[in-house]
Amino acid sequence: MFPSYNDFETEIEPEELRKLTDAVLTKYGYDFGNYAQSSFKRRVIVVLRKHGIKSMDVLIQKIIHDPIFFEQFIHDITVNTTEMFRDPTFFKALKTLVFPVLNTRSEFNIWHSACSTGEEVVSLAILLKEENLLHRAKVYATDINHSVLKKAESGRFPLRNLDLYTQNYNNTDPKGKLSDYYKIVDNEIVFHRELIEHVRFKHHDLAVDHQFFKFDLILCRNVMIYFNQKLQNRVFELLHASLFLNGFLALGAKESLIWCKIADKFESVSDHEKIYKKVKL
């Protein structure tokens, strides 16, 4: 069982977090300095607990001198909660509000930013295939974490989640059955290669990396919640720059653009599902 931070008595002061993020930035170029304090502190506590590390200084020394430990740290500190068709009503809204627009184009580009282990990449591919749009899509899937990208590329997911995924899929008004798209091999759900063979998986850190392409649709769901407002503003500018005019941006169910500086450059397509359209350059 993954340790939780309950009953963990060590206090972490903001200055100690700053020392940690400075050290990581200097040594490895990852910038966690503008992650949301409240949840970032809790992630750090989880790491300390997991490795039985008693003080921040020890953690910093370990990170600086052990790149393999650092990869593990990145994995633990980032949040990789995801599921197939998470929020089925969101996927229904994509089909009714966004797909018809994509359908007017001979080809279109999609970016799954912070794709984690790829559950959403496969979910969207299935729906695009059902609407006969998949062959026209150029898809990028990126994440800050190399190990989850590798998993995403495999197109394999743990079998234990199959009931939930099937139920979610059935709630998207699908045209087929989820079982049309996978085989079960060695306790894993193995999705058909054609769903992800066209996807380019790529390392990208929203906190420091730049625009690399232009898109018709960007999914960035439940990522912004881990950033403070300064970093949110940076990322929204990056996403805005990465969208074609009239391109769509999809956020998580409880995320919103209203507090960001460039909110007026977007228009809401669905308030409930947090789908926005870029209406100004």
Partner 1 sequence: MHGFDEANIKKNKFEIVVIGGSAGSFPVVSRMLEKLNPAFKLPIVMCLHRLKDKREGFKEALEIKSVLPVVEPNDKDLIEPGKVFIAPANYHLLIETKERFGLATTELIQYSRPSIDVLFDSCADVFMDKALSIVLSGANKDGAFGVKRIKKKGGFVMVQDLEECSMTTMPEAAINAAKPDMILPSMKILEYLNCL
**Residue 230 found at the interface with partner 1 (CB under 8 A):** no
We find the least distance from the C-beta atom of residue 280 to partner 1, in angstroms, to be 22
Q: Give CA–CA dist 57/50, Å, rounded.
A: 16
**Residue 212 found at the interface with partner 1 (CB under 8 A):** no
Which one, 121 or 257, has the nearer CB to partner 1?
257
Q: What is the DSSP letter of 135?
A: G
Nearest CA to 31 among 20, 44, 15? 20
We find the least distance from the C-beta atom of residue 39 to partner 1, in angstroms, to be 4
How many residues bind partner 1, per CB under 8 A? Answer: 30
Burial class (CB in 10 A: 0-12, 13-18, 19+), 119: buried
* Binding residues for partner 1 restricted to 27-66, rule: CB under 8 A: 36-39, 41-43
Q: Give CA–CA dist 202/191, Å, rounded.
A: 20
Stretch that binds partner 1, among 100-108, 151-159, 172-180, 249-257 (CB under 8 A): 249-257
**Residue 170 found at the interface with partner 1 (CB under 8 A):** no
Which one, 80 or 147, has the nearer CB to partner 1?
80
* Binding residues for partner 1 restricted to 62-101, rule: CB under 8 A: 79, 81, 87, 89
Q: What are the backbone dihedrals phi and psi of residue 239, each rounded to the nearest 5 degrees, phi first?
A: -65, -40
Q: What are the backbone dihedrals phi and psi of residue 226, each rounded to the nearest 5 degrees, phi first?
A: -90, 0
* Binding residues for partner 1 restricted to 100-129, rule: CB under 8 A: none
Q: Which residues of 79-118 are buried (b: 16+ CB within 10 A; e: fewer)?
A: eeebebbbbbebbbbbbeebbebbeeeeebbbbbbbbbbb
We find the least distance from the C-beta atom of residue 15 to partner 1, in angstroms, to be 14
Which one, 36 or 101, has the nearer CB to partner 1?
36
Sign of CA dihedral 70, 72, 78, 84: positive
> 57: Cβ–Cβ under 8 A, 6 or more apart, which residues?
none
One-letter amino acid at 125 equals A
Stretch that binds partner 1, among 47-55, 123-131, 172-180, 219-227 (CB under 8 A): 219-227
**Residue 225 found at the interface with partner 1 (CB under 8 A):** yes
Residues that bind partner 1 in the complex, under the rule CB under 8 A = 2, 4-7, 36-39, 41-43, 79, 81, 87, 89, 222, 224-226, 228-229, 232, 252-256, 258-259
